[in-house]
Structures are given as C-alpha cells and as structure tokens.
Amino acid sequence: MKPRTLFEKVWDRHVIEQEEGKPATLYIDLHLVHEVTSPQAFAGLRLHGRSVRRPDLTTATMDHNVPTIHRSQPITDRTSVAQMDALVKNCQEFGIQLYDLDSPEQGIVHVIGPELGLTLPGKTIVCGDSHTSTHGAFGALAFGIGTSEVEHVLATQCLQQQKPKTMEVRIEGMLSPGVTAKDIILAVIAKIGTAGATGTVIEYTGKAIRQLSMEERMTICNMSIEAGARAGMIAPDETTFSYLRGRPKAPSEELFSEAIADWKQLVTDDGAIYDQQVILNASDIAPQVTWGTSPGMGTEVTNQVPFPEHYPTESEQKSVRRALDYMGLTPGTPITDIQVDRVFIGSCTNSRLEDLRAAAQVVKNRQVSPHVKAMVVPGSQQVKRAAEKEGLHHIFLAAGFEWRDSGCSMCLAMNDDSLGDKERCASTSNRNFEGRQGRGGRTHLVSPMMAAAAAIKGHFVDVRQWEPTIEEGLG
C-alpha cells in the first residue's frame, strides 16, 4: 500500500462516499457545540421537523458569553442571555449533554473536550468554531465549521468536505528555557504568514514537538488556523496515551490497550509525501511578541517595532503602517520599551493548568505593576479547581491579579471582560485583530510566562532573563 500521512489515514477511515472531483462525505465522530454558533442550526432543524441524528456524539458547553465573575447574578447583555437560554432549551429538546454555567465541568469547548477524554486519536471532530483545530493535538482530524454545516452535522452526523492538502511543519532541536509552545507557533506564523498554510492540514513533527506535553501540543494546534490551515495534527504517542488514560469519556481500562494498539497506527508512514514542508529549529526560537493586528505580525522580544519601509511591497508597507497606527507604536521602539495597561492570561490557547503554573512561577512573591490591571481566566472550572488545589490562586491574588471563573472572556470580549479604547494588553490568546478584545483595544500576543512578566514589570521583558525569586531575596 502507498505510504500515507497521518491526515490521510484519519481521512480515509471516515470517507463514506467520494465521487471524483467532488467533495467527500465524511462521517463525524464528535460534534462539539457552543452557544454562539448553534441557535440558528437548531432553529433550522425545528423548521424542517428533523431530530439530531446522534445526540450521543454531540456535546455542548457555554463559553463565549459567560460571565467570569458574580455568576449567581443576572446577566444583563440580552444577546448573551438569549444565546445561553437557547442552548439550554435546544439541548433539553434534542437530548444533548450540556455543561452549562453551573456545571463543575463547564469551560471553553476546546479545553473541556480533551479534559473529559471526548477528544481521542483518529476521531473526526467538528465544532462551529475555528479553534477546533486544538483537538488535532491528539491525532484527531478536527476543524471548525459554519452554522449551516452545524445544522447538517446535527441532522446527519456527516459533512461534505473538500480534501485538503498536507503540510509538514517540522520543529527540530530543543527549546531553550523560557521559550514555549506559544513561541513556536507564533514563530511559525511570523515565518509563513497568516495565509501560509491555506487549504492544508498541518502535521507538526520533529523532536521539539515530540517532547511537548499534551497541553503544549494543544497550544500549537490551536493556532494552526491563524496560519490559514484547515486543521493541525500531531501523531499520538505515549504522551497522548498517558494523558487520556482514566479520563471519564476515554475508553475504559479494559478497552484501553486495544485502543492504544489502534491509535499507534496513526502515524505518517516512512516515505509518505506532504504537499508542502516547513522546517524550523527550536533552538533558534526566542520569546515572541506580536506588534501588529494579525497573528503573523510578530517578532522576537529582543527586536524592535519594524519600519514599514523595510517591507518589500507597497501593500505590505501599507498594512504595516495601518497596524502600527492602530497599535499606537513607533517604528524602531524596542519591544521591551512597550508599556502595557492590561494583562490577560486565558483563552483556549493558553488557559490550562500548565499555562497557569508557568505564569505563577514568574509571578510568585512579586507584585503586579501599579499601572497594570491583570487577570487570570482558567480555561475550565476543572482547571480552576486543580490550580486552586496547588495554591496557584494564592500566588496570583497576592500579586494583585484577578482570579476568575472559566470562559472565553477577554479573548474576544463577548462578555463584560474587555479592553477600553487604546488600552494595551499582553494577552495569551490567539487573535490580535482590531477591536478583538474591545473597541480600540490593542492586543499583543505572548506566552503565559511573557504575559506574567509584563504584568509585574509593566512592560515587555525577556523572560529568559527572569531571575529566580530566591536570588532576588524576595522568597
């Protein structure tokens, strides 16, 4: 048999029907649902008198609109209330499991899927949400779909899909201390651009990727979409299996070794060919900070804000000028001279336990700069409880951070958590578009450690030079 890539194997396992030159019909193993992109889909089902084909393969949570503070009080935003109420009603009517606002398992859809063990190697996973790519970290084929497709999947458990091309992003070597998975993916996007992987499914390979934990792998796959890719995948291995073992929705202990035997097949065969390939060395990657209004407009913390005139084409110069204007930045300014007003540690990119641990390590025994307002928003209520069990909340609260309930929060400011006009934020999220975190707000994408350090110093700093607490005599 012809050697195949990981993507091709998972794809082939799910094609129900494919006519030459036409989109394939794929079977969907897991459909995740949230309150923003589902109301119209359910309304469509009702209109046509249809039911949900496989409620048992469908799971819902509320995350985008939910308040992250004072949860027992009424929510004032009418759209949020309408969307959340609709989800409750729809899940009841159609028999779908919902992790609602009061559920101890509530959280960002891309955080709770893996956490519950719903996300498994080899599955096809869809959700009306672009960052569904996160789940590819387990060797699943996971991608975002539009609301009409949500309706289609609800009704049929299938999806029409054009076969994407493949791209290998190989990260060789080893990361230096202070450099994280977030820096890898920001560096990849800075290199290939936000359209660099358009029409492809990326597979991340190489020694640096194999050494990452599952949470770090999720950070990488999460942002595949910001490089234009349809999805990102990482072949499952022992790290994957041990993460999944014992999770409530993962195969039970009796079936687990059988599952592993199957999952082990999900690797790219020797001799399989990717349509495109990009290679980076992890040891060349430094902590990244974005300076512009797209995730590709980023650089190393040791660099300066770029000069528009250094870009080769007129259109690039124009977009850089516009970005710098919006961001209120002067070319040539060292990144470390940029002062921040706000710090947001959260989002489906960087709100899991290891992210909070990394940030807390930087924050420990220090104080948030007096002119900075900083918050930590755990990705799920389970992450929140786990962090509290380790006492991480004490570290953040003592430093002056706010410690919130879980949700998307200031990643996209659909709830009350938002930036004011011209407020500048160091954010661990994945998008820095104009107005993303609030009208006129200015977003710099960074890793959790970099965000934590910016909160303490009031400006960006190179975390590689962060002194251990003990040596500063503060501990």
Ligand X SMILES: CC(C)[C@H](C(=O)O)[C@@H](O)C(=O)O
User: d(Cα 370, Cα 201) in Å, to the nearest integer?
Assistant: 44
Question: Which of 129, 215, 300, 354 is close enough to bind ligand SF4 by CB under 6 A?
Answer: 129
- What residues from 386 to 445 belong to the interface with ligand X (CB under 6 A)? 412
Question: Which of 7, 32, 35, 37 is close enough to bind ligand X by CB under 6 A?
Answer: 37
User: d(Cα 261, Cα 266) in Å, to the nearest integer?
Assistant: 10
Under 8 Å CB-to-CB from 80, ≥6 apart: which residues?
Answer: 65, 66, 414, 415
Whether residue 223 contacts residue 430, with contact meaning beta carbons closer than 8 Å, is answered with: yes
Interaction between residue 130 and ligand X (CB under 6 A): yes
Partner from ligand SF4, ligand X, none binding residue 144, C-beta < 5-8 Å depending on class: ligand X
Q: Of the ranges 112-120, 127-135, 165-173, 356-364, which one interacts with ligand X (CB under 6 A)?
A: 127-135
Closest CB 28 distance from ligand X, rounded Å? 17
Query: Exposure pattern of 266-294 as b/e (b: 16+ CB <10 Å)?
Result: bbbeeebebeeebebebeebbbbbbbbbb
Helices (H), 373-466: 381-389, 392-399, 448-457
Partner from ligand SF4, ligand X, none binding residue 37, C-beta < 5-8 Å depending on class: ligand X
Residue in this structure with the two tokens 């079977």, named with its chain if needed: 27
Interaction between residue 411 and ligand SF4 (CB under 6 A): yes
> Which amino acid is located at 448 in the chain?
P
Task: Say whether 158 counts as a known binding-site residue.
Answer: no
Under 8 Å CB-to-CB from 446, ≥6 apart: which residues?
Answer: 182, 287, 288, 289, 290, 426, 427, 428, 454, 460
> Which amino acid is located at 12 in the chain?
D
131 vs 135 by CB, closer to ligand X: 131
Partner from ligand X, ligand SF4, none binding residue 347, C-beta < 5-8 Å depending on class: ligand SF4
130 vs 333 by CB, closer to ligand X: 130
| Residue facing ligand X at closest CB distance | 130
Question: Which of 32, 33, 36, 395 is close enough to bind ligand X by CB under 6 A?
Answer: 36
Nearest Cα residue to 63 out of 377, 343, 328: 377
Burial of 307 (C-beta count, 10 Å sphere; 0-12/13-18/19+): middle
Task: Say whether 348 counts as a known binding-site residue.
Answer: yes
Interaction between residue 348 and ligand SF4 (CB under 6 A): yes
Closest CB 412 distance from ligand X, rounded Å? 5
Burial of 468 (C-beta count, 10 Å sphere; 0-12/13-18/19+): exposed
Closest CB 129 distance from ligand X, rounded Å? 4
62 vs 272 by CB, closer to ligand SF4: 62
369 vs 429 by CB, closer to ligand X: 429
Instruction: Using the Cα atoms of residue 210, residue 235, residue 116 and residue 64 in order, give the sign of their dihedral.
Output: positive
Under 8 Å CB-to-CB from 206, ≥6 apart: which residues?
Answer: 170, 171, 172, 173, 279, 282
- What residues from 430 to 449 belong to the interface with ligand SF4 (CB under 6 A)? 430
> Which amino acid is located at 158 in the chain?
C
Number of residues that bind ligand X (CB under 6 A): 8
Segment holding 44, helix H or strand E = helix 39-47
Closest CB 63 distance from ligand SF4, rounded Å? 6
Interaction between residue 131 and ligand X (CB under 6 A): yes
Whether residue 411 contacts residue 346, with contact meaning beta carbons closer than 8 Å, is answered with: yes
- What residues from 51 to 70 belong to the interface with ligand SF4 (CB under 6 A)? 63-64
287 vs 298 by CB, closer to ligand X: 298
Question: Which of 35, 129, 215, 417 is close enough to bind ligand X by CB under 6 A?
Answer: 129
Question: Which of 44, 55, 117, 144 is close enough to bind ligand X by CB under 6 A?
Answer: 144
Closest CB 393 distance from ligand SF4, rounded Å? 20
Mark the binding-site residues for [4Fe-4S] cluster, compressed into ranges.
348, 408, 411
Q: Which residues bind ligand X (CB under 6 A)?
A: 36-37, 64, 129-131, 144, 412
Mark the binding-site residues, compressed into ranges.
348, 408, 411
Q: Which residues bind ligand SF4 (CB under 6 A)?
A: 63-64, 108, 110, 129, 131, 347-348, 408, 411-412, 429-430
